[in-house]
Chains A and B, each alone.
Chain A
């Protein structure tokens, strides 16, 4: 008698699979749909000197390269250049020394994209001593 009762209880305790499988597939579909791959971001490091015009924080540096960023392009040592030409020049200079100080001067109306392009070219050349000024 007791054995019969035991068996009956065991049969009653059997779990229904169907709702569980439903929930699992719901969860799977939810996570797969919401999973969005993110862009890989990079960072380009610069130094921003003090805005105070009287402050002269850095000592006289030997190697100095000045690049201006305008709304429609760049100038290198006062000469108008494109990004491809800048890439060549900076890669050549980066091959000589990575410690060249690069002074970047941006005009207020130049788009931020130009500055980032220039910083990326500097990163490619391995130049790390970059200072950004505003004109």
Chain B
């Protein structure tokens, strides 16, 4: 009799559990396709990257000058072919964001920019850190 008295109602608990699960699943970001070794320079005055444009191409240049897209490293020839194919497919208007390591030499960044302008993309964006997560 006393056991039955302290029986819990499960329904609100299950509600809360599902709410929590949905919240975390929706907010979790799977960004395994960026190179975590790249250290970006601080740029607090640039506009925030919203990442709303699905056509955006992120090109990474690490401190040794190696070019990669989605963590796949490539030489300049392959990068040029990729850019040509992409321009043929979606046109010249997609945004290109260069995530260049702060220690990378401009000569390496230049290779990426030259290939972009070579296929007709004049507008280039550079990524910088507006605010570090540790400062929030």
Contact = CB atoms under 8 A, between A and B. Distances in A.
Interface of A: 14-15, 17, 20, 24, 27-28, 31, 34-51, 69, 106-117, 119-121, 123-124, 132, 134
B61 interface: yes
Contacts of B73: none
Contact of B117 (A41, A42, A50): A50
Given A38-B31, A42-B130, A15 B61 contact: no
Contact of A48 (B21, B108, B124): B124
Interface string B93-114: 0000100111111111110011
A79 B122 CA distance: 29
Nearest to A24: B17
Nearest to A14: B7
B106 A37 contact: no
Given A43-B46, A111-B106, A124-B45, A37 B28 contact: no
B91 interface: no
Which among B40, B44, B124, B126 has the highest number of chain A CB atoms within 10 Å?
A: B126
A49 to B, nearest CB: 7
A120 B106 CA distance: 16
A134 B106 contact: yes
Contact of A39 (B61, B100, B104, B132): B132
Given A35-B27, A43-B125, A108-B106, 7 more contacts: A31-B28, A43-B49, A43-B97, A43-B127, A47-B122, A123-B45, A132-B124
A106 B47 CA distance: 23
A113 B41 contact: yes
A50 B21 CA distance: 50
B126 A43 contact: yes
Interface in B24-58: 24, 27-29, 31, 40-49
B114 A51 contact: yes
A15 to B, nearest CB: 6
A30 B39 CA distance: 27
A108 B43 contact: no
